A and B are shown apart, each in its own frame.
Chain A
Amino acid sequence: MERLILRDIPNFHRIDVYEVNGGYAALRKALAMSPAEVINVVKKSGLRGRGGAAFPTGLKWSFMPKDSSKPKYLVVNGDEGEPGTFKDRMIFEKNPHQLIEGTLIAAYAMGAQTVYIYIRGEYLKWINLLQTAIDDAYARGYAGRSILGSNFGTEIVIHRGAGAYICGEESSLMNSIEGQRGYPRVRPPFPAQYGLWGNPTTINNVETLTNVPLIIERGGEWYASLGAPALPGILLYGISGQVNRPGVYELPTGMLLTELISDVAGGVRGGKKLKAVIPGGLSVPVVRADEVEGLRMEPESLKTVGSMVGTAGIIVMDEETDVVKVTARIASFYHHESCGQCTPCREGTGWMAKILHRIERGEGRPEDLDLLVDIANNIEGNTICALGDAAAWPVRAMVRKFRDEFEAYIGRTRIVERALSSALPEPLTVKG
């Protein structure tokens, strides 16, 4: 299939090359349409958010009030903190103008006069690349006041994050733009009613917006016909972990997971067998090798094994992977990144990490596994934002799907303890 996001054309990131290949024609086309017409085309395309939640993009845009006198904002989410996800970075590097063009079309459709593009702090190189592209877009009259001679104008500002996973969550991202700690907000009110500084705001992922110029150019029906009906379109699959050719691959949605791992990414490294795969970024439940056959990267198919498409960040683990170690590391991550606002997440993530590291050290107790599932169940659904669920799901799935491996670790503890107690004549006591 012809690649439409990560294009084959050399120097496509440069504005002159982008223009020669039809760039910014979709913006012209959109400006000749009414904002409502633009939203309708996007609705028809079936485009869903690519940041993990897969919310219908056109519908989200339609939530923005049409008659409000308040300033309206569009926020582009390029925080890309979900482990296993590295696609937005490719867009910044390879095709920044298609992102800018999609952003401008979205801003026009919603009447947003200011756009903030939030990019994770570590991506300084890519922030600079995007800033150059934005400057070029301004210089050619695509951004700023009176875009292409129309009466529509919008400013684009990059806001650099500073190392907080939680800021990829849209409401905490807004607080971060406002100069606060990245604490998620209670909803309702939703951002379209009460977003940045209390004004109507929409937050879209980088990849989502990069699809928009294609949709305006070729039509909603065309886009809706691509890939899987439940999640139509083009998807950037990020494949990492123990495969021969890790990387970002642009393909239609709904690809077979086996095909992605074996053919696209060249199979498991070192000729080893597959043990498990996390299909959609670290936060989605793991899939065991024996469940992979026939699974497609679309919601209905992944649901059958209790998982999700998420960010399409596919993390591959070979047969030698120590899932106990991996799960302990996963739990530490969420504990580190919990913002601390909600008790179930703040305490629960730390508790899970503590238990998992104790199991890893060979100090696990038989009751620990049920306790882990119980803690996960009590975090899930009981927090302001989705980080709680994101912390609960992978740990619970790992423990349920690889219970025997966790039990083996705990079993070893019991053997060591028994050996010690029979070897020692009497319990050691410390005198003093």
Chain B
Amino acid sequence: MFTEQELAAIEAIMSKYPDPKAALLPVLWLAQAKRGWISEEVMREVAKILGLPPSDVLGVTTFYTMYNKKPVGKYHLQVCTNISCQLTGAEMVVGRIREKLKIGPGETTPDGKFTLSEVECLGSCGTAPVMQVNDDYHEALTPAKLDSLLESLA
């Protein structure tokens, strides 16, 4: 399931904490980095490595919103809809994506390319509205900026 390289990285993570259980969040990050989401199989394997009951791993994975519990599109469009973005155009961003890609929040395009999510504050309030695409922030979005971004990804 995990490559040699990943297992070595997991060892290194565990050494940073006095209790191997503390490695759970970083190990889930590591698993998701390559697979895009955390499957039940991954959870069971992580539980085995860290000596945890699988239920603990499930509990943690589902508690934190950034761990994907199911596969997401190649580009995960995460639009902040919290207050500062709400005041400056989050509705425009979601509406335009809806219109262009024909998907609503929580949905993925049939070709598996885009998933749209509405997310909570991304800490980018001074450059609102903001959308995170996979790991990258796209700030101070205007309709034109959003269109060219979507075109560049299509």
Contact = CB atoms under 8 A, between A and B. Distances in A.
Given A125-B137, A162-B65, A242-B88, A247 B29 contact: no
Nearest to A78: B123
A123 interface: yes
A10 interface: no
A81 B126 contact: no
A72 to B, nearest CB: 12
Nearest to A166: B63
Given A83-B121, A159-B26, A329 B126 contact: no
Interface stretch (A133-141, A210-218, A233-241): A233-241
Interface string B54-80: 001001100111110000000000000
Contacts of A169: none
A108 interface: no
A197 B83 contact: no
Contact of B122 (A122, A247, A329): A122
A321 interface: yes
A330 B29 CA distance: 29
A192 interface: no
Given A122-B132, A162-B28, A247-B126, A181 B87 contact: no
Given A124-B135, A321-B87, A84 B121 contact: yes
Interface residues of B, number: 42
A160 B28 CA distance: 11
Contacts of B21: 178-180
B109 interface: no
Interface in B118-133: 119-128, 132
B1 to A, nearest CB: 20
Contacts of B120: 81, 83, 165, 333, 336-337
A238 B25 CA distance: 30
A25 interface: no
A177 interface: yes
B29 A162 contact: yes
A86 B126 contact: yes
Nearest to A85: B123
A248 interface: yes
Nearest to A245: B126
A80 B136 CA distance: 17
Contact of A181 (B60, B88, B123, B124): B60
A308 B82 CA distance: 20
B47 to A, nearest CB: 11
Nearest to A162: B64
Contacts of A82: 121
Contact of B135 (A125, A321, A336): A125
Contact of A163 (B22, B66, B83): B66
B19 interface: yes
Contacts of B16: 155, 157
Given A179-B22, A241-B88, 5 more contacts: A161-B25, A197-B19, A240-B84, A326-B87, A339-B63
18 contacts: A71-B18, A83-B83, A83-B84, A120-B123, A125-B137, A161-B66, A162-B29, A162-B65, A162-B66, A176-B25, A180-B60, A181-B63, A197-B19, A240-B128, A241-B83, A242-B87, A246-B125, A339-B63
Interface of B: 16-19, 21-26, 28-29, 50, 56, 59-60, 63-67, 81-84, 86-88, 119-128, 132, 135-137
